[in-house]
């Protein structure tokens, strides 16, 4: 996972994904053979809200529809689990991508707790 995140986002990644994934509804992965090339995490509140987090595709596999497929599978998985509202936060340059995946823009609030 850290190799994928480093490739997708630049820099280095040294996260403890076991801890993160233990709180998830599910996570969806894409592989080329045995190599992880794509990932999306579905976090949730245990009820009707879930959140798409960490949509990532290895830089050598970007712009091939992999992220779109991952997000669509994540939406299907959340719906099958009884989730009613699927949320995602994204930077402005990704608005077209997420709208193409079926998300509608909304107003939202954000508080930085690590000041």
- For 17, residues 6+ apart whose C-beta sits below 8 A from its C-beta are 1, 2
Q: What is the CATH T-level fold of the domain 2-100, as seen in this structure?
A: Aminopeptidase (3.40.630)
Q: Where are the domains of the chain?
A: 2-100
CB-based burial label for 92 (10 Å; 0-12, 13-18, 19+): exposed
pLDDT in tens, 64-87: 999 999 999 999 999 999 999 999
pLDDT in tens, 47-69: 999 999 999 999 999 999 999 99
Predicted model pTM: 0.88
Enter the tokens of residue 34.
């045995």
Enter the tokens of residue 15.
């996260």
Contact criterion met (CB below 8 Å) for 94 and 60? no
Enter the tokens of residue 111.
């508080």
Vertex 94, ends 106 and 58: CA angle to 5°?
Answer: 135
Q: What is the mean pLDDT of residues 95-115?
A: 90
């Amino acid at each position: 996972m850290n190799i994928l995140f480093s490739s997708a986002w630049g820099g280095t990644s040294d996260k403890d994904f076991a801890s993160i994934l233990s709180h998830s509804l599910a996570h969806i992965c894409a592989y080329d053979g045995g190599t992880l090339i794509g990932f999306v995490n579905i976090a949730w509140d245990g009820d009707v809200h879930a959140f798409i987090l960490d949509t990532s595709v290895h830089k050598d596999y970007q712009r091939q529809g992999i992220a779109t497929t991952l997000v669509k599978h994540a939406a299907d998985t959340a719906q099958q689990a009884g989730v009613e509202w699927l949320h995602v936060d994204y930077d402005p340059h990704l608005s077209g991508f997420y709208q193409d995946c079926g998300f509608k823009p909304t107003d939202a609030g954000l508080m930085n707790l690590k000041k």
